[in-house]
Structure 1
Amino acid sequence: MDTQLSNKGEGTMKNIIQDVENNVNWLSQFGAVPSGGITRLLYTKEWFDAQQALKSKFEDIGLDVSFDEVGNLSGRLTGSQYPEQVIMSGSHVDSVVNGGNLDGHFGIIAAYLAIQYLKEKYGTPLRTLEVISLAEEEGSRFPYVFWGSKNLFGLAKKEDVQNIKDGAGVSFTDAMRGLGFNFKQDETAARKDIKAFVELHIEQGSVLENEGNTIGVVNSIVGQRRYNITLKGQANHAGTTPMRYRKDAVYGFSRICTESIAKAEAAGDPLVLTFGKVVPKPNTVNVVPGEVMFTMDCRHTDQAYLKTFTEEIEHDMRAIAKEMGMEIEIDRWMDEAPVPMDPQLVDTLKNICDKEQLNYRVMHSGAGHDAQIFAPRVPTAMLFIPSIKGISHNPAEKTKTEDLVEGVKALTQALYQLAYQD
């Protein structure tokens, strides 16, 4: 495809490359830090300024704009025949600390541009088009995730956040109310008007780049099981304790890690297993470590397989601990099931990619996204575009401009089919 919207939008898409670059750079100024990254955390000045600036952007193209109680921002182009049926697209406006300028943010820009192009070319849609800038997804300021999307569906509970604080001791409630937002009057109230939600996002992995694809049509978001594990041996003198008498917790952990990773590699894609945090005690040069606390993160697209695999790893860990004369405590604190995307909507995206001759692949998402909150409740699908070297949550996060453009084109065609066609 060239830089025009296939054969349907020649007049409005000529400047798409410039539009994409200008808007990404524009949004990147809110929360920019000296390292080149972005820190735009929920209910901060940087976050508020970004939402207010987006509000003006949406208004400038003639959308009906509003905030909900908690700070989700919506811009709506009301449909002529089915105004009560909303075709929604967007993503989250918050970032991680010192993150990149595309994660979440580009999904908002892409939806805004797509609706602008469609409005200019085709006028009023049959169904209402809505771009949404979700208040929060990352959990980077407060220990709570998906605050924005959970509030859309009555899933967020006041008691879960009203007593939590950020690293500076600022309470969630004070930060929210300080910017003029508040808890929903009816926290169980849920949006009933969303007919479809399509989220465009950078992959945050390297599959598309390595396989030479421009677009990913996501059919599932992986399930996750996360653990905090403590292995207890015996701390002892590093010089006077013979090897045969040691209960070395680091050695025990190394066995667990090595054997578990070997099983994960044998299982193959899409299973992934990560030991991400390791804290030995007493963590000094001349003492045999007596304790290790470590984390484990396991993900798969099939819930039954995820359960079976992790239970086998749990059994292996206990067996290794028993063999080495140690104690082990296993705390599984997250158990999230995989979330499939809507099959019909996935087929719609595949058909669009085939028709437009886009270089795409069907794939799963190894990371969590707002789409996983939407998907059990409304027809939902995702589009991915490549991440250079798979880097994300990092100032080096980047996607080729031509791939950003292809993402906007694919999203525009999807919204056209969903909102303008019977």
Structure 2
Amino acid sequence: MDIRSSFEALDNKLTSCGGLNGGGITRLLYSEAWSNAIHTLKNTLENEGFEARFDNVGNLKGRIEGTKYPEETIMSGSHIDTVVEGGHLDGQFGVLAALVAMQSLKAEYGQPLRSLELLALAEEEGSRFPYAFWGSKNFFNLANKADVSSIADGEGVNFEDAMHEAGFDYRTVDNDFSYIKSFVEVHIEQGKVLESEQKAIGIVNGIVGQKRYTVNLKGEANHAGTTPMGLRKDAVVAFSKIANELTDQARAFGDPLVITFGRVDPVPNTVNVVPGEVTFSIDCRHINQTELNQFAEKIDACIKRVSEEEAVEYDIDLWMDEAPTLMDEQLVSEVKKAAEHVVGPLDCKVMPSGAGHDSQIFAKYIPTAMIFVPSINGISHNVEEETDIEDLVKGIEVLKQVLYQLAYKE
């Protein structure tokens, strides 16, 4: 079978579920577009000879039974939901890459020795409701009814009502995942590293840890014209110094550490008043826990010192502290061999993922690896999100090679 034409046909078919007139997709958990997509995918799997079924919450599995070791399963897939006005590749590519790779393997080699399973996870993004990884957290029995029973979307629709309307419900029994021997997720990079280095394939060795803070600085609001510079307690000036110093320190610390000040809310936020208060966010990420912790000490020290210098009070809330997740070394080695076979050693790169993925949940329980393909201009979570079709095909071919080694070889 022709991988390119097969992928393009499936991508067009699935993109129509939630597809926007200006391009891209909005496909939020338990919405009509989401329901159309997940049932379209189930029908496609059944037509292709997969045994397809939903779990309680809407995760979809498509299975090709193994001939010799059916109880050993090699799994691949990703999430089926999108952000609002997102692209057609984030999540969807991983699902369709698994489908096309498994179709191609079956057409070329027949039934595998070990079972192959495609997994389309119900939700990863957290775009409709304030809860992320609903699909993978349910898969590993981590999600609880109490986590979501009282939450609603931006239009006031209750999580439970939306779930029931879509035909799904809470998990009633714990899932057994002991039969899964490996999980491989293919994803667009969502960054510029592969494109800037002219690499065709990224071999992900880990997903960065994240520390997220909300910081509040309180100074004194006062008249912009009558308050001398030396008598001011300007919260925004303090913030500016903190942002500038920590950015310089992060650059000196070196890649792959990153720090971002994504949200800044000054009070009173008007032209002729010295701002007396500011609340801002810090997002800091690194693949190495020790180095992430070391830089966290710099963050605390900088905030405290600058606040004292500028005569403002500070409050630091570290509300997310996620450890880095390392991929399985043996499986990463298998992906590396497959990538070098498909595109050559000079066209692939071992790298960390700077974004979160379902694989970070899987890796805690199952040997897991990820394959990246380049993103044009690094754009993602945007209708302009795109990857050259030849790079998408290479990603599918690498996945196919990995699945062949894992499911067809003794």
Give the TM-score of the pair, scaled to structure 2.
0.98
CA distance in 2, matches of 1:114, 1:37: 24
- Match of 2:280, SS state, is strand
Residue of structure 1 aligned with 2:279, choices 293, 298, 304: 293
Equivalent position amino acid for 2:301 in 1: H
The offset of 1:64, in angstroms, is 0.2
Question: Could you say which residue in structure 1 is the equivalent of 2:332?
Answer: 346
1:332 aligns with 2:318: yes
The offset of 1:190, in angstroms, is 4.0
Question: Could you say which residue in structure 2 is the equivalent of 1:376?
Answer: 364
Question: Could you say which residue in structure 2 is the equivalent of 1:259?
Answer: 245
Residue of structure 2 aligned with 1:137, choices 124, 133, 147: 124
Question: Could you say which residue in structure 1 is the equivalent of 2:208?
Answer: 222
Cα offsets for 1:204-261 (capped at 9, x unmatched): 0000000010000100000000001111110001111111111111111000000000
Question: Could you say which residue in structure 1 is the equivalent of 2:42?
Answer: 55
Residue of structure 2 aligned with 1:319, choices 281, 289, 305: 305
Question: Could you say which residue in structure 1 is the equivalent of 2:113?
Answer: 126
Equivalent position amino acid for 2:24 in 1: G
Cα offsets for 1:52-85 (capped at 9, x unmatched): 0000110111000000000001100010111111
- Matching of residues 168-247 of structure 1 within 5 Å: 168-186=155-173, 188-247=174-233
- Match of 1:320, SS state, is helix
Question: Could you say which residue in structure 1 is the equivalent of 2:406?
Answer: 418
Q: Is the 8 A contact 1:93 1:133 kept in 2?
A: yes
**Count, aligned residues:** 408
Q: Is the 8 A contact 2:202 2:351 kept in 1?
A: yes
Question: Could you say which residue in structure 2 is the equivalent of 1:284?
Answer: 270
The offset of 1:323, in angstroms, is 1.6
Residue of structure 1 aligned with 2:83, choices 70, 77, 96: 96
Question: Could you say which residue in structure 2 is the equivalent of 1:364?
Answer: 352
CA distance in 2, matches of 1:43, 1:179: 5
Residue of structure 1 aligned with 2:101, choices 114, 129, 144: 114
Q: Is the 8 A contact 2:3 2:104 kept in 1?
A: no
- Match of 2:350, SS state, is strand
Q: Is the 8 A contact 1:279 1:292 kept in 2?
A: yes
With over 3 angstroms needed to count, the CA separation of the structure-2 counterparts of 1:320 and 1:203, relative to structure 1, is same
The offset of 1:20, in angstroms, is 2.1
Q: Is the 8 A contact 1:35 1:98 kept in 2?
A: no
The offset of 1:357, in angstroms, is 4.1
CA distance in 1, matches of 2:243, 2:179: 47
The offset of 1:356, in angstroms, is 3.1
CA distance in 2, matches of 1:281, 1:164: 29
Long gaps (5+) in structure 1: 1-11
1:303 aligns with 2:289: yes
CA distance in 1, matches of 2:337, 2:308: 55
CA distance in 1, matches of 2:63, 2:103: 11
Equivalent position amino acid for 1:394 in 2: N
- Match of 1:192, SS state, is coil
- Match of 2:125, SS state, is coil
CA distance in 1, matches of 2:41, 2:408: 24
Question: Could you say which residue in structure 1 is the equivalent of 2:30?
Answer: 43
CA distance in 1, matches of 2:386, 2:354: 18
CA distance in 1, matches of 2:78, 2:342: 24
Question: Could you say which residue in structure 2 is the equivalent of 1:79?
Answer: 66
Q: RMSD of the alignment, in Å?
A: 0.9
Question: Could you say which residue in structure 1 is the equivalent of 2:385?
Answer: 397
Long gaps (5+) in structure 2: none
The offset of 1:35, in angstroms, is 3.1
CA distance in 1, matches of 2:68, 2:131: 39
- Match of 1:356, SS state, is helix
Equivalent position amino acid for 2:219 in 1: G
